[in-house]
Amino acid sequence: MIKSEWIEKGYVNEPIPEGIDLKSEIRRLCKEKNAVIMGHYYTRSEIQDVADFVGDSLALAQQAAKTTADIIVMCGVHFMAETNKILCPDKLVLLPDLNAGCSLADSCPADELAKFKEEHPGYKVLAYVNTSAAVKAHTDIVVTSSNAKEIVDSLPLDEKIIFAPDKNLGGYLNSVTGRNMLLWNGGCHVHEQFSVEKIVELKAQHPQAKVLAHPECKSAVLALADYVGSTAAILSYAKSEECGTFIVATESGILHEMQKCCPQKTFIPVPPMNGGCACNECAYMRLNTLEKLYNCLKYEWPFVELDAQLRERAKLPIERMLEISAKIKK
């Protein structure tokens, strides 16, 4: 029985039984229920350690599309759980805390995008995966930061394109593809906070270090980067480069995997402009805790539900993305 108290909070707030080993109980529940835990690189390290699969937005969608589990627990944010539900409508998709939203997805309300589209007939809409299902339903092709450039490149040169919602990623794509896409004015509150001054200072202190930046960062940050790429691309660059020190301008959760993969290398997170805060952490991602993960597996709540028609409309642009991505890989 789902309690009204849980609904009010958006997660199961039952006390955890005393003395249990949370990680092994989580794994036991997964086995018992044929559940799979997926985690984004930006979630807490203890969640990454207990997950079956950790990846960036593209890898998480690809993994969801092929899982044989009955239950998917998405330890990320709401749009990621929605994407899983769209790709796996018959599976139970759990999100440990329904409050795990995304400032970038919130910056693009579906009705406003629909209006913008109407004002620009003949334009194709490319939307970043960081959008609601309702926005995806107005989209021609979904992209992630891992495949956006290749997907833009796959379109005819004279194609008129609206890119939503991240203006920084859109601006970066315009610069590397030579396009002139119309950009939605949205952004991520984490990636927009990185301090240019701090990067310059860090570079002066570590002249050999390479600066890695996510394309959701502002152009002034990207201009200082030795390498710009998605979370997964930044990670593989750090693994393959001989350099021993990296200055990392993306959400600091990725440092856990970086350090795990390259224990001998040093990774320095770029602090935000307001040095005193923890703004290089995504507060939404951090809402996923081991306690909420355990409870949501135990009670099989909160789950994500979507209207069947909306799901079908949102599925098409995601499938187009997965198809183009698969071709790009070959």
Q: Rule CB under 6 A: is residue 6 a binding residue for ligand SF4?
A: no
**Binding footprint of ligand SF4, residue count (CB under 6 A):** 13
* Per-residue binder mask for ligand SF4 (CB under 6 A), 173-202, x = binder: ---------------xxx------------
Q: Does 144 bind ligand 13P (CB under 6 A)?
A: yes
- 43 versus 177: smaller Cβ distance to ligand 13P: 43
Phi (first) and psi of residue 239, to 5 degrees: -70, -40
Distance CA 117, CA 132 (A): 16
Q: Is 287 in the site for ligand SF4 (CB under 6 A)?
A: no
- Max CA-CA distance within the chain? 63
Rounded to an integer, what distance in angstroms lies between the CA atom of residue 138 and that of residue 113? Answer: 8
Examine residue 231 and tell whether it contacts ligand 13P (CB under 6 A). yes
Whichever of 69 and 233 has its CB closer to ligand SF4, that residue is 233
User: Does the footprint of ligand SF4 cover residue 75 (CB under 6 A)?
Assistant: no
Least separation in angstroms between residue 216's CB and ligand SF4 is 6
| DSSP code string of 115-162 | HHHHHSTT-EEEEESSS-HHHHTT-SEEE-TTTHHHHHHTS-TT--EE
Mark residues 201-220: x for contact with ligand 13P by CB under 6 A, - for none. ---------------x----
Confirm if 49 and 23 have CB atoms less than 8 A apart.
yes
Specify whether the backbone of 267 is left (phi greater than 0), alpha (psi in -120 to 50) or beta. beta
Decide which of ligand 13P, ligand SF4, none touches 103; Cβ closer than 5 to 8 Å per partner kind: ligand SF4
